[in-house]
Amino acid sequence: MTDGPYAALEARFRRIAIIDGAQAVLHWDRAVMMPPGGADARTEQLAVLSGLSHELIVEPAIGDLLDRVEADRDRLGPWQAANLREMRRLWRHANALSQDLVEALARAASTCELNWRQARAADDFASVLPSLENLIGLVREKAQAKATALDVPPYEALLDAYDPGRRRAEIDRLFAELRSFLPSILSAVLARQSRRSAPMPFDGPLPIEAQRRLGEALMTAVGFDTEFGRLDVSHHPFTGGVPDDVRITTRYKDDDFSESVMAVLHETGHALYERGLPAAWRWQPVGESRGMTIHESQSLLIEMQACRGRQFSEFALPIIKSSFGKSGPAWTLENLLAHTQRVEPGLIRVEADEVTYPFHVMLRYDLETALLQGDLRPRDLPGAWRDGMMKLLGIAVPDDRDGCMQDIHWFHGDIGYFPTYTLGALAAAQLFAAAVAAVPDIPERIRRGDFRPLLGWLREHVHGVGCLSSSDDLLERATGTGLGTEAFRRHVERRYLS
């Protein structure tokens, strides 16, 4: 079906997607380049664009068109049918919210995020609390409205926007399985590490410009095309933009290059997914990424599964040494691996190793569900955070900067996102294992800096299918099983205990 009501729907959703893409670039600019004095203007720009996008999707004509096409769905091809399904899902989400609430949320999120940047730098939670309380109140209003429209509990209504179809019962089951075996694995890994010498520090200087060039060299080797994207600096590493203009960011420390490089490789995984989405379905819902669990699986597959492994380290080490003009005992393969595969409970989620990372996510999941339900007041977040970190990882939190203010998500109204990080890690382990089983020379090709076999498999089984199927169906077809913990358990045991 290429004309009539279906074609009219495609035209309308194309306009909506282009507006949303413009918002994505404006969000990137706000985090990377916008001067402080532009904050008020940017808040209004984003609020108006959010409102305009919402106005377009809730027009009565779209509901009528959806009904007409669904009544004649047998004429649709598989991609068109999937596109129609995704259109209806987005329409249901949008029609749950009033125009006033959409614009109020956009303004509140922008204001709170900008306040958070100043508050975190000053370690002053009290200064961001009023805007956070206002934002959380609006998020609760949004969650309740969507819960009524989608006939699911409020948290699942928010979760559905990040990971369509996911339910808390599944998250709780998977997290319970992780809690059952990760503590013993962590203890065994720490005991094993204690019998070895600590990694030698990389001797400086490690100039920021050299780190930038190193990151660009490695992201290009992995497959990033700088004709369609760029690397910049932000407070919090992220990927933004649109598939044909992908913006990734990192941050630097002048005494440690590994954090910036691994952030670059992580975000490159996101960027490769965006670039690999089906070009024939640009600006259509079916051509978008299949939710954040799959998106996070792609960043973690590149960073954790591939680039923290021995094969990639063998390839990268000469480039690293050349970038800084270094040699000597600290600049050996074994010392590099001792750094990149170091397991150590720490304060910061984005710096966490893959064994302790799920504990960080489970803490945030527990706290954000309590915030949404009203069981935890925003003003009590710092204390709850400290208690949770001590319980899960045995770590005392010295301040709010590296405690409850370390992540941007809640201060931008993003509740329901955090579980997808660990769900993505589980999916990444399954997908990488399936890719290697299908193309056994992938590890050896990575050793030579050739990511084409891995990227080709991902293009076929993940990137190129967009939203043609659900996340669970995608995983079933690519790996032979639904989302589970077994592949992740085997991976961490093999890497850290064998």
Question: 256 forms bridges with which residues in the sheet?
Answer: 253
For each of the chain's 498 residues, which pLDDT tens digit applies? Answer: 557 999 999 999 999 999 999 999 999 999 999 999 999 999 999 999 999 999 999 999 999 999 999 999 999 999 999 999 999 999 999 999 999 999 999 999 999 999 999 999 999 999 999 999 999 999 999 999 999 999 999 999 999 999 999 999 999 999 999 999 999 999 999 999 999 999 999 998 999 999 999 999 999 999 999 999 999 999 889 999 999 999 999 999 988 899 899 999 999 999 999 999 999 999 999 999 999 999 999 999 999 999 999 999 999 999 999 999 999 999 999 999 999 999 999 999 988 999 999 999 999 999 999 999 999 999 999 999 999 999 999 999 999 999 999 999 999 999 999 999 999 999 999 999 999 999 999 999 999 999 999 999 999 999 999 999 999 999 999 999 999 999 999 999 999 999
Flag whether 26 is in a domain.
yes
- Residue 390, sorted as left (phi over 0), alpha (psi -120 to 50) or beta, turns out to be alpha
Structure tokens at 26: 């404006």
Beta-carbon contacts of residue 33 (< 8 Å; ≥ 6 apart):
232
How many structural domains comprise the chain? 1
Q: Give dist(CA 411, CA 481) in Å, integer.
A: 36
Distance CA 306, CA 393 (A): 26
The amino acid present at 246, given as its one-letter code, is V
Question: What phi and psi values does residue 253 have, to the nearest 5 degrees?
Answer: -125, 135
Residue 495 included in any domain: no
* DSSP secondary structure letter of residue 302: I
Tokens 């790996």, residue located? 479
Q: Residue 56's closest CA among 11, 21, 86?
A: 11
3-class secondary-structure state, position 205: coil
| Contact partners, residue 120, CB within 8 Å, separation at least 6 | 128, 235, 401, 405, 406
In a domain, 487, yes or no: no
- Report which of 185, 161, 2, 183 is spatially closest to residue 83, judged by C-alpha positions: 2
With a CB cutoff of 8 Å and minimum separation 6, the contacts of 376 are 367, 370, 384
Residue 96 within any structural domain of the chain: yes
Nearest partner of 348 among 390, 402, 311, 308, judged by Cα: 402
- What is the spatial distance between Cα 312 and Cα 449, in angstroms, rounded to a whole number? 7
Please check whether residue 401 lies inside any domain of the structure. Answer: no
Per the CB < 8 A criterion, the answer to whether 464 and 478 are in contact is: no
Q: What is the pTM of this model?
A: 0.95
pLDDT of residue 218: 98
Decide if 236 is inside a domain.
no
Q: Return the number of other C-beta atoms located less than 10 Å from residue 201's C-beta.
A: 11
Catalytic residues, which ones? 267
Distance CA 326, CA 464 (A): 41
Would you say residue 10 lies in a domain? yes
Element (H, E) at 247: strand 245-250
Domain of residue 143 covers: 4-159
Structural domain contains residue 68? yes
CA distances from 111 to 75, 97, 116 (A): 47, 20, 9
